């Protein structure tokens, strides 16, 4: 059976429930630059109340510390302009440096910027600013999401800020950032109800140990990994860069899955479960689905990672 990345993306499409995340991100993208900055300010002001609090570690902030110190030395007008330039993707030295941060470092940067605003060290919302109807709509939409979905929306609001000459969905920092210190050991002996495929079990076990080389060895050389709401990342080198930037310190806890054998001996599998990230501690688990296409030799040709609309999406596997 011949298959391609494009055809692999459609596996188990009937079990997928539309997520509110893309619609919320689209609402954010429609805001003007000052409204986007205000939304981030209000979102972080709500942290710990109706929006999930972030907890950036020192390992992430150290990559942004120099930039934050530079901004603290600026006048309020200059600070506001820096934030506008980042949101507008203007070509500036700070914009270029920011674009080279990992997604987690970008989120840490804005979290710390919000803290500096609260302390009066960085200019807050411009005086006289009135929350627009658009900001109110987006903020309310974020408040209605579950904690894992809120994390994803906030990450996506900052990921494309800064300046890149060529924006590439699969571009990630080439150097790995320091590993998060795990609050507790991740589960390593994995069992999944309905799934015994070795490549799937070994993949999850490897990520739970931050053993990215072992995880990469499970992919075919031309294999692909598709993160939530992104285009597929193709090839082991690109997938490895993504893992080092995005998958460190994860606790992956699969709960169940289904497996189907195709006529040529390849397999398609769907697994659902929860993922805890070092950003948000063990109290918050994101509902995640993994869709695998395994070739006849037992290697991963394609893996899509989906943010589930709700825990109830697991029920679609039992129909």
Give the model's pLDDT for residue 182: 61
When mean pLDDT is compared over 29-38, 58-67, 218-227, 243-252, the highest value belongs to 218-227
Domain range summary for the chain, segments of one domain joined by +: 5-19+174-318, 31-159
Tokens read off for 104: 């987690």
Worst-scoring range by mean pLDDT, 89-93, 265-269, 305-309?
305-309
Beta bridge partners of 306: 289
CB 269 within 8 A of CB 197: yes
Q: Can you give the pTM of this predicted structure? A: 0.72
Say yes or no: domain 5-19+174-318 is CATH 3.10.450.50: yes
Alpha-helical runs (H) found in the chain? 5-8, 21-29, 33-45, 58-72, 76-88, 93-99, 103-118, 133-143, 147-159, 198-208, 212-216, 236-246
Beta-sheet pairing, 251-261 with 286-294: unpaired
Q: Which residue has the tokens 């906030």?
A: 154
CB 154 within 8 A of CB 23: no
Report how far residue 79's alpha carbon sits from residue 105's, in angstroms, rounded to the nearest whole number: 19
Give the model's pLDDT for residue 319: 41
Query: What's the half-sphere exposure (Cβ side, CA atoms, 13 Å) at 306?
Result: 25
Worst-scoring range by mean pLDDT, 7-21, 117-131, 275-289?
275-289
Which tens digits make up the pLDDT trace of 148-200? 778 778 878 888 888 877 544 445 554 455 555 566 666 667 889 999 999 99
> What CATH architecture does domain 31-159 belong to?
Orthogonal Bundle (1.10)
Give the model's pLDDT for residue 5: 85
3-state secondary structure of 312: helix
Cβ-based neighbour number of residue 125 at 10 Å = 17
> What's the full length of the chain, in residues?
319
Give the model's pLDDT for residue 312: 53
Alpha-carbon 303 to chain mean position = 15
Which tens digits make up the pLDDT trace of 44-81? 766 555 555 555 554 456 778 889 999 999 999 999 99
Beta-sheet pairing, 267-276 with 286-294: antiparallel
Which tens digits make up the pLDDT trace of 9-47? 888 776 666 678 888 888 898 899 889 888 888 877 665
Give the model's pLDDT for residue 115: 81
């Amino acid at each position: 059976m011949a298959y391609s990345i494009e055809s692999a993306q459609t596996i188990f499409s009937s079990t997928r429930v539309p997520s509110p995340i893309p619609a919320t991100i689209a609402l954010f993208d429609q805001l003007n630059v000052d409204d986007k900055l205000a939304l981030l300010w209000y979102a972080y002001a709500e942290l710990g109340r109706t929006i999930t609090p972030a907890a950036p570690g020192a390992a992430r902030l150290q990559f942004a510390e120099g930039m934050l110190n530079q901004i603290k030395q600026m006048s309020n007008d200059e600070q506001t302009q820096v934030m506008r330039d980042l949101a507008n993707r203007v070509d500036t030295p700070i914009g270029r440096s920011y674009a080279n941060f990992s997604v987690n470092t970008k989120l840490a940067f804005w979290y710390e910027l919000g803290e500096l605003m609260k302390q009066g060290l960085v200019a807050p919302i411009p005086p006289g600013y009135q929350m627009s109807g658009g900001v109110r709509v987006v903020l309310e939409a974020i408040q209605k999401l579950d904690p894992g979905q809120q994390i994803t929306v906030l990450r996506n609001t900052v990921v494309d800020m800064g300046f890149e000459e060529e924006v590439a969905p699969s571009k990630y920092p080439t150097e790995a950032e320091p590993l998060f210190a795990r609050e507790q050991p991740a589960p390593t002996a994995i069992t999944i109800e309905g799934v015994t495929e070795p490549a799937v079990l070994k993949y999850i076990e490897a990520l739970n140990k931050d053993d990215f080389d072992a995880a990469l060895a499970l992919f075919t050389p031309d294999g692909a990994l598709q993160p939530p709401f992104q285009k597929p990342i193709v090839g082991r080198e690109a997938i490895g860069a993504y893992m080092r930037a995005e998958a460190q310190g994860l606790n992956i806890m699969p709960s169940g899955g289904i497996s189907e054998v195709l006529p040529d001996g390849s397999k398609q599998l769907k697994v659902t479960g929860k993922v805890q990230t070092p950003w948000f501690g063990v109290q918050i688990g994101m509902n995640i689905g993994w869709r695998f296409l395994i070739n006849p030799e037992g290697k991963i040709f394609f893996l899509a990672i989906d943010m589930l609309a709700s825990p109830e999406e697991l029920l679609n596997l039992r129909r």
